Structure 1
Amino acid sequence: MLVIESWMIHEDSPVPVSSEVVLEALRSRIDRGQHETRLTSSSGRSLTFVTNAERAMVMLLEDEGDPGEHAVDPGALGSSDGFVLSNGQYDEYPDEDTVPICEAFRLVQQIVGTGFWPEDARWAVDR
């Protein structure tokens, strides 16, 4: 029997969020000015989504001290700013280390639904 981990939005509530509603939750948080969302899984992993409303950084960590892995856009040129973290920190990232927001939504939905990156996703391992 395959058991898929459950995911919760770290700051919101202890109620699991499914792949069917996670995008609605992310969009709602962005509309409220919350551009960073951290999801935690029942197995101890975390999934972080940080956006400037055009591009997003998507990071998957195995545990608290793990450098993890993040989605990439190989060949993207330049950098983008406007990534405001929950602690008020204002970040700028190279575009190759972020993905367009629609792609980020797809990645988050897949990870929440299956626990894995989509087969066609591009990511960098930071370990």
Structure 2
Amino acid sequence: MIESWVINDDSPVSVSSEVVREALRRRVDSGQLETWLTSSSGRLLAFVTNAERAMVMLLEEEGDPGEHAVDPGAEGASDGFVLSNGQHDEYPDQDTVPVGEAFGLVEHIVGTGAWPTGARWVVDR
């Protein structure tokens, strides 16, 4: 059984892979740069963006260091990652991916429960 996902601070209705990209875009356009999704099995999926790059993290449960998407060839760092608590973060570009790629990663994980073939990520556990 494939798990279902909900956006934590939206309605309790499941979000499908077909609509999650647009839901994320709407949130970013409205200034919500941090989105957490929770699966029916308790896993967590985080999407934090500065509208150019995004940090995508997949955690098995709350408190799990998880795993995150990477861009190994990227150099430098980007700021402007504003969390829901008002904290402003800066991340090395190698620990984030271009926002278009991030949308695709989230869409695939919501649809299949796994990273796409060919995606690059590191395990932080």
Map 1:68-79; keep pairs closer than 5 Å.
68-79=66-77
Uncovered stretches (5+) of structure 1, i.e. residues with no partner? none
**C-alpha RMSD over aligned residues:** 0.4
Q: Structure 2 CA distance, aligned partners of 1:39 and 1:64?
A: 12
| Structure 1 residue 35 displacement after superposition | 0.3
Match of 1:56 in 2: 54
| Structure 1 residue 112 displacement after superposition | 0.2
User: What TM-score, normalized to structure 1?
Assistant: 0.98
Q: Structure 2 CA distance, aligned partners of 1:58 and 1:98?
A: 7
Map 1:1-127; keep pairs closer than 5 Å.
3-127=1-125
The list of structure 1 runs, each at least 4 consecutive aligned residues, that deviate by more than 6 angstroms after superposition, is none
Q: Which amino acid aligns with 1:38?
A: W
Q: Which amino acid aligns with 2:14?
A: P
Q: Structure 2 CA distance, aligned partners of 1:27 and 1:103?
A: 13
Q: Structure 1 CA distance, aligned partners of 2:22 and 2:100?
A: 13
Q: Tell me, what secondary structure is at the counterpart of 2:12?
A: coil
| Structure 1 residue 6 displacement after superposition | 0.1
Q: Which amino acid aligns with 2:113?
A: G
Identity %: 78
- Would you say how many aligned residue pairs link Structure 1 and Structure 2? 125
Q: Which amino acid aligns with 2:70?
A: V
Q: Structure 1 CA distance, aligned partners of 2:78 and 2:29?
A: 20
User: What TM-score, normalized to structure 2?
Assistant: 0.99
Q: Structure 2 CA distance, aligned partners of 1:76 and 1:13?
A: 36
| Structure 1 residue 40 displacement after superposition | 0.3
Q: Structure 2 CA distance, aligned partners of 1:47 and 1:9?
A: 9
Q: Which amino acid aligns with 1:50?
A: V
